[in-house]
Structures are given as structure tokens and as C-alpha cells.
Amino acid sequence: MYSFIKPFIFDLDPEVAHDLAIQSLKFNFVPEYFFSVQDEEMLQNNVFGQQFSNPIGLAAGFDKNAEVYNSLFKFGFGFVEVGTITPQIQLGNPKPRIFRLEEDKALINRLGFNNQGMDTIKQRIKKNPPNNVLGINIGPNKNTKDKITDFLKCYTSFYDLANYITINISSPNTENLRDFHNQELLQELIVQIKKIKLNKQVPLAIKLSPDTEESSYDKILKVLLDNKIEVVILTNTTDQNRTQLMSKNKIEKGGLSGLPLRDISSKMIRDFYKLSKGKFKIIGVGGIDSGESAFEKISYGASLVQLYTSMVYQGPNIVKKIKEELIQILRKEKIDNISKAIGINS
């Protein structure tokens, strides 16, 4: 089905195509049975206190305003992450700001945290309780004078609606956001969040950049481990690594996602898993387009994985495809549950 309509979709501007997808998903007419998989219990796992039907999630950036997550669950995702959400409404950067790199199976975006703001989105989620595990990705407004305060506002607003909250310190499209990879700034941010007294504890995920210098891994890990961070997401998009790309759009500024990110993120997963000795859970992101690429990240130490760009190129049936391929790999390796594959090749 998707192969039939893909040429028409790809004739459209990428952001127009995305907006049409969101509008169509609002009707919630997704035939759930079409995406079901036999023996999916092999993919079930309990991670940071949450039960996941399978480890395949949708990364933040698709459902920015938390409008269609329940429709997306019907595609077979084990979890969906919405956002990035900021305290105030934000229009984002000037258009065009999404570019397809078809030859490279990649995208470049410089959206700039465009979203409807935390108050509107909070009310939407309250009116539409999620049918599965929901992550909420938060960040600061572009022109804020105090990024930490923005993080605190969003965290306080969403803690009781999320199964986990992601602190996005790694988008390349918000000026100085990656400064939080500095040990002292990261420590200050996490300490301020942990100080908040709430009536519910929600797992905290820190989303890191693939462009992080290896020399800084030990300092970042010390902060994460000292503050008992439950989850690390590896990785966000990269604003580097363009030399091997073939598409003419490689010159566009922004974050690169998709297949070119696969090896970079996989190496970082392996490194962080080994250095941390598995003391926090890892969500692996970057270039996942098959059961093999998902299993690679899991075997390197990821407990869960996320995709986005590959769905643009292969359509929503990619979730079913990856799950079926993962089950085949587990059987071949004589592993009866996906949890037993975590870190086996680290």
C-alpha cells in the first residue's frame, strides 16, 4: 500500500506531507489487526518499571503536539515519544526546514522545536489518555533567558501524564542547548529537576548528541550515575558527518537522521553500556530500518529502540516488519526473550 502512494507523498514538500499524515491519523481509522504479529510475547520486557509489549518505539519529532499517539500505537509501536514541547508556543525556524536525502535514506531538519506550548498540549493529553507507554520530550524556548527554568516548568507540568520524561539537551537546532553536555551544567540541570517534590516519581531520560566528544564520556557518565538517572537516549541527530552523503541536500543546515547515523549511534550505545556497566537503561536511536539494525543496538546494550526516518521511507508497516525479523533473529540465536539479548555483543 505505502509503496503505491509513496511517489505522490514524495512529490510534496516534506513538511506538508508530514502535516497531512498527522491530519489523516486524527481520524483514528488505523486497522490494528493489519499490524499484528504472531509470538510477540518474545519481545515483551519490563524496563524502568514499565511493561513494554515490544521494544520498538517512535522517536520524538513526529507527533510534536501529542495529537495522534493513540493512532500510532495501532501501527504496533511498543511506545511513542511526543514533543519536543516547550513552555510557550513556538513557531520554529523559517521554512523550508525539512529535507529528504533519498539517496542516503536520511533526513535533515532544522525545525527548531515548533510546537503549541505545554498548556495546550497538557490539556490534550489529559483529554486523551494514552493506550500504551507514552514518553514526553521537553525542551526550552528559543528566546528564554533561563533554559533550566523552562525545563523545570515542563517537567512539573507533565510528570503525572508521562510514563517517562525526556530532557532534550541535544537538538542542534536550538542555540547553546548542547552546552548542557558540559559536566557542571548537566549536573546543575539534573539537580534542579531532582529537587522538585512531586507526588509521583517518573523516570527521567537524558537525550544525548551523537557529536559528543569521546573524551567527555567519563564526565557525563559520572553525572548520570551520581544522580541515578534511569534512562539515556542515544542519540539525537548530528550536524556533522556529511562528507560521505550523496544527496544534493547534504548542504542544508540542521540535524541529520536516518541511515548515516546508524554506526555512530551504535558505537555510542556500546561505549556507554560498557562504561556504565549497564547501570541505566539505554534507548537506542539512529538508522534503525530492519530487525537486524534493531537487534544490533539491543545486543550492544539498548533495552529499547526508536525510529522515525525509516518510517518516512518504508511506511508504517516497518514496525511489523522489524518485529517479525527480530523474532526470527531470536529464534535463530536460541534466545527466548528480547531481554536476554541486551548487551550480549557489548
Residue numbers of the domain that contains 121: 2-341
Whole-prediction pTM: 0.97
Q: CA–CA separation, 209 vs 241, rounded Å?
A: 13
pLDDT at 245: 97
C-alpha cell at 29: 481509522
Low-confidence residues of the chain: pLDDT under 50: none
pLDDT at 45: 96
- Grid cell 573524551 is found at 215
pLDDT tens sequence across 215-240 = 999 999 999 999 999 999 999 999 98
pLDDT at 50: 94
Residue 336 domain-assigned (yes or no): yes
Residue 144 domain-assigned (yes or no): yes
Q: Output helix, strand, coil percentages for the chain, rounded to the nearest 5.
A: 40, 15, 40
Q: Which of 53, 171, 265, 266 is catalytic?
A: 171
Q: Is 241 exposed, middle or buried (0-12, 13-18, 19+ CB in 10 A)?
A: middle
Residue 275 domain-assigned (yes or no): yes
Residue 346 domain-assigned (yes or no): no
pLDDT tens sequence across 109-139 = 999 999 999 999 999 999 999 999 999 999 9
Residue 178 domain-assigned (yes or no): yes
pLDDT at 3: 86
pLDDT at 200: 84
Whichever domain contains 279, its CATH number is 3.20.20.70
Q: How many domains is the chain partitioned into structurally?
A: 1
Residue 268 domain-assigned (yes or no): yes
- 24 an active-site residue? no
